[in-house]
Amino acid sequence: MKHYRFGGSGADRYINCAGSTALIETLPPKAGSRYADEGSAAHHLAALCLQNDEHPAEHLGEAFPEWPGYPVTQEMCDAVVVYLNAVLHEMAQTKEAELYVETQFELDVPGAEGEVGGTVDAMVYHPKTGRLVSFDYKHGVGFSVSADDSKQIKFYAAGAVFSKPDWRISALELVIVQPRDRSLAGLPDDADRETKLGIKRWSMNPLDLMEFSGEIADAVAKAKDFDNRVFSLPDFSSGSWCRWCAAAAVCPLREQEVLRAAQLDFAHMTAITADALPDPKTYDMDRLGQILQAGQILNGWLNQVQEYVEALVLAGQPVAGWKAVEKIGRAKWVSADEEVADYADMVFGIDVEQIRPRKLTTITEAEKLLKAAGATKAQIDDFKLRFTLKESSGLTIAPTSDRRPAVNAIADAYSGINLTAE
């Protein structure tokens, strides 16, 4: 699949931060990450199933040659099924519906021919009504991607629309399907079915795509301007798009912001030592709260730095103070369970049940088994009510924006104690 200098996944970044593309291109090529490879394997599975009218389970255990380390698992099948169902449900809306899978497109941007483009995972066009639905599958877990006004899916929509000039589009819907989105677990029981499955929809006026294409063309022209000149701090602009920026670990603006956000009075990271860090007890409550909030930004940035340094060192590039080492190994059984248990029983007299206890599966797995056995939602709820208990392991802290209600920590700590004076 062709890689474009200005693609859909980076659209939010290069539209907002003109200097980012040039800064990224100063870095050595990045090795593929575990998550990216697993996601690519899942995308491939989804495309195969749509193209050949197959069920993902038919590929269970299969490893695709490009991503040999990520064979098709049950979890991958379950996630891909949600996406396939969303696409096929759209196909069923009209008899004439047309399905396009993995459609590669290039946007016509003057001065950047062949540099701006991407691939739409799937699109369904209804010629009679003029409705077009563009689908984007996300296999990720940790970061919940919103469909609302997303530059990435608008980019794919522009690709879908402009790659088929004969279409007469009257309604345009953009859909992100992210079935493994970890935040789904925290949704209220009365959330609608699609939301619970990680299907997010956003409708836009097809005419607005003209304006968006202009936005892309302007952003590409600004980014390409750095091909001929060096950049400086004002050329960067930070925001939510920095999260996926490959240059975040070396970005001068991010480094400055991280220090400012953490309220550390250091001119540069190199001045930070354990002794030079201030004692938290010297801070007032407001500042402590602000520092913890800044710490979340700092953590994200440190992860990006660590990932970057790891890639460099593993590629053989020297980074002062760091080296490549073998991961600490964990012992694992290499013989069949029965063989181990029988030997321990025969030689040491250890009870087989002790060394190989029968264990219930996890609650999530049990729920899947119940679903597969045809249990209704009410039956599953009843089963959980009978046999499970959701218990908090205690109090913690969270930003005030967190969806959980605030708990009165003092009242909680002293509950059950009679505090009346004698």
* Contacting residues toward ligand SF4, per CB under 6 A: 13, 17, 19-20, 23, 236-238, 241-242, 245, 247-248, 251, 253-254
For the bound state, the minimum distance from the C-beta of residue 30 to ligand SF4, rounded and expressed in Å, comes to 14
Select 187 or 309, whichever has its Cβ closest to ligand SF4. 309
Please, what is the minimum distance in Å from the beta carbon of residue 17 to ligand SF4? 3
Q: How far apart are CA 382 and CA 152, in angstroms?
A: 41
* Integer CA distances (angstroms), 342 to 338, 346, 348, 352, 408, in order: 6, 6, 10, 7, 54
Pick between residue 156 and residue 308 the one whose CB is nearest to ligand SF4. Answer: 308
Q: Which is nearer to ligand SF4, 4 or 70 (CB)?
A: 4
- Taking the C-alpha atoms of residue 4 and residue 119, their distance in angstroms, rounded to an integer, is 10
Query: In terms of CB distance, is 153 or 247 closer to ligand SF4?
Result: 247
Tokens representing residue 364 in the block: 């999530």
Closer residue to ligand SF4, CB minimum distance, 20 or 178 = 20
| 64/231 with CB nearer ligand SF4 | 231
Smallest gap from residue 261 Cβ to ligand SF4 (A): 13
User: Do 411 and 390 meet the contact criterion of CB atoms below 8 Å apart?
Assistant: no
| Min CB(305)–ligand SF4 separation in Å | 11
Phi, psi of 116 (to 5 degrees): -120, 115
- Rounded to a whole number of angstroms, the minimum distance from the CB of residue 212 to ligand SF4 is 19
Instruction: Please state the closest distance from residue 240 (CB atom) to ligand SF4, in A.
Output: 9
The contacts of residue 253 (CB under 8 Å, 6+ apart) are: 233, 236, 237, 238
Measured from the CB atom, the residue of 157 and 251 that comes closer to ligand SF4 is 251
For residues 217 and 297, which CB has a smaller minimum distance to ligand SF4 in the complex? 297
Decide the pairing of beta strands 171-177 and 131-137: parallel
Dmax over CA atoms of the chain, in Å, equals 87
Q: How far is the CB of 40 from ligand SF4 (least distance, A)?
A: 23
Sign (positive/negative) of CA torsion 134, 137, 141, 143?
negative
Min CB(99)–ligand SF4 separation in Å: 35
Distance in angstroms (rounded) separating the CA atoms of residues 309 and 325: 13
What does the radius of gyration of the chain's CA atoms come to, in whole angstroms? 26
Closest contact distance (angstroms) between CB of 242 and ligand SF4 is 3
Between 105 and 241, name the residue whose CB sits nearer to ligand SF4: 241
Shortest Å, Cβ 33 to ligand SF4: 17
Residue placing its CB nearer to ligand SF4 in the complex, 134 or 150: 150
> Whole-number minimum distance, CB 133 to ligand SF4, in Å?
30
- Residue 84 or 253: the one with the smaller Cβ distance to ligand SF4 is 253
